[in-house]
Amino acid sequence: MFRPLLILMALASAAPVHAEAPLPDAEFAVRWIDGAYVSRHEALVAASERFAGAAGQFCARPDDAGLQATRSAWRGAMLAWRTMDGASGGPIVLERTGRMIDFRPTRTKDIEKRIASGAGVDPHNVSVRGLPAAEYLLYGDAQPKAQLARLKDPARCAYLQGSAGRALEDVHQLDAGWTLYEEQLQGEAEFFRKNLFSETIGLMLSGIEGAIRRLPRVEEAQPDAWPDWRSGLTRDAIGAQLDGFATAYFGPEAGVGLANFVAAQGHATVNAKVKAAYDNARAALAALPADQARSSEAQRAAVRSALSALKQAIAGDVGVALGVVLGFNDSDGD
């Protein structure tokens, strides 16, 4: 009568045992977040300060040289944000920073109404503030040569300066949050370290998906189908998002990236797959013309396909290697 029970016990002992997801120790967690995330935040702060400073100098004496300098500083700030958004984490989600400084579509009619009334930047309306609002003021509707004369209007330039200043304030809102997050990661409670990989990998996937969505899917796409149509920044913006992912995954220097932890768990082949997919995405992006109007659907499709393959390598290979359970929205294909 005991034979069936013995057989069941033998089968149970032979069944595969799923090991728990590896838990990063506090030393690795803090070193990774500080080196691969806080460093990008600090670069975003510096770029945002340069933009706010350039806008202030330009508005004090609006001329073509100042406008070009302000546009350059705006591009630096936007690309620094795209680098951060390529693999975000920590307080960025809680503060909803992306919504605050990069909300689209920009409500240009509402911006014009506020300028006409002298009301200034509305701190509570994300559609009339942030970096996209500044893009509109600096480039117009893809009419860059017409903007100097318009920005000589003090109210208009004040709105530009206010948009830059508001974006800088939003970025500085993250300063204390990153400090607190590092303290939480090295605390006695394991909660934040247990959730570290699921949160950061999910946000890597979201960043890549965001890059995919920056490319229109029709052959004869209208200019405003591109998120960056006013400034023509699309290719550089996608490249910056890939930079952010690479910094988070491979690390800004040896021993700092997530790839080091993956390799330490015996999954060096996973890193090789991710690197190959990343290189393919870079190659496809390099083939995309800098002038977005000259790109073909075939070229855009090649970039989308390469980004989707990178996304799948992260969701599948990296997620499985680290025992990370991802939600459908994090891991679904393009």
Residues 130 and 247 in one domain: no
Separation of alpha carbons 42 and 86, rounded Å = 15
Residue 220 has what pLDDT?
61
Q: What is the pLDDT of residue 261?
A: 97
Residue 224 lies in a domain: yes
B/e letters for 17-37, b = 16+ CB within 10 Å, e = fewer, are eeeeeeebebebbbbbbebbb
Whether residues 48 and 173 fall in one domain: yes
The answer to whether position 3 is within a domain reads no
- The region of weakest confidence among 15-29, 81-95, 122-136 is 15-29
Q: Please report whether residue 314 resides in a domain.
A: yes
Report pLDDT for 11.
Answer: 30
Lowest-confidence segment of 111-115, 180-184, 191-195, 294-298 by average pLDDT:
294-298
Final residue of a structural domain among 157, 189, 221: 189
Of 107-116, 275-284, 320-329, the range with the lowest mean pLDDT is: 320-329
Same domain? For 185 and 67 the reply is: yes
Q: Final residue of a domain: which of 164, 189, 214?
A: 189
Q: Are residues 32 and 119 in the same domain?
A: yes
State the average pLDDT over residues 231-250. Answer: 96
Pick from 135, 157, 189: which residue ends a domain? 189
Mark whether 247 and 296 lie in a shared domain: yes
Task: Tell me, yes or no, whether 14 lies in a domain.
Answer: no
7 in a structural domain = no
Give the number of domains in the chain: 2
Is 13 among the domain residues? no
- 26-73 pLDDT, tens digit per residue, is 999 999 999 999 999 999 999 999 999 999 999 999 999 999 999 999
Q: Within a domain: residue 9?
A: no
Q: What confidence score (pLDDT) does residue 78 get?
A: 98
CATH number for the domain harbouring residue 131: 1.20.1420.20
In this predicted model, what pLDDT tens digit does every residue of 135-156 receive, in sequence order? Answer: 999 999 989 999 999 999 999 9
Share above pLDDT 90 across residues of the chain, in percent, rounded to a whole number: 80
What's the domain range around 242?
195-334
Tell me the residue length of the chain.
334
Q: Residue 17: its pLDDT value, please? A: 35
Residue 224 confidence class, pLDDT cut points 50, 70, 90 = confident
Evaluate whether residue 227 is within a structural domain: yes
